[in-house]
Amino acid sequence: MKRNMAYSALALVLSAGVASAADVNPGLQQIANYLGVDAGAYSATELHQLLGARDAGDQSTYDYFLKHVGATEAAAVTAGKAQIAAQVGLNPAEYTTAELIRVQQAQREGDLQTVSFVVSHQNRNTIVNPQVAMGRDS
């Protein structure tokens, strides 16, 4: 009897932690309310792109994101991904599992530069080598 109660309490605590990790921040909720969409179904980037397309009158881009064609598997939130995101204090829909693990390891090592690099999504930028100008200067 005590064992069943202990397991039930543990399950309740773990499920509450996962549920709270998937909460949407108030700013994104406000944007979603303005657009008339579900905030949990879109990443922050998608919501901002929807807002920009709506404000610019770009109906094709707006419809594209409304149909959620731009959603990727990386944005899928599993229980494990939500748990890691909760541990590092990030929204799981905005990061891949690999990025969350990288942030978690950097936090453990006290590497604030790597944490900032991944949290700001700079790790997704393509690095381009500048090309030397060819020809004569005018």
Distance between CA atoms of residues 92 and 51, nearest Å: 21
pLDDT in tens, 75-131: 568 888 889 999 999 998 888 888 899 999 999 999 999 999 999 988 877 665 566
Mean pLDDT, rounded, of the chain? 75
**Residue type present at position 36:** G
How crowded is residue 114: how many other Cβ atoms within 10 Å of its Cβ? Answer: 16
Question: How deeply is 50 buried, as exposed, middle or buried, from its count of CB atoms within 10 A (0-12, 13-18, 19+)?
Answer: buried
Give domain limits for the chain.
1-22+77-120, 24-73
pTM: predicted TM-score of the whole model, two decimal places: 0.42
**What H or E segment, with its residue span, contains residue 57?**
none
CA distances for 26 relative to 23, 33, 86, 91, angstroms: 9, 10, 17, 12
Residue whose structure tokens are 């979603």: 32
Q: pLDDT tens across 1-56, in order?
A: 555 544 454 455 444 444 444 467 888 888 888 887 777 777 788 888 888 888 88
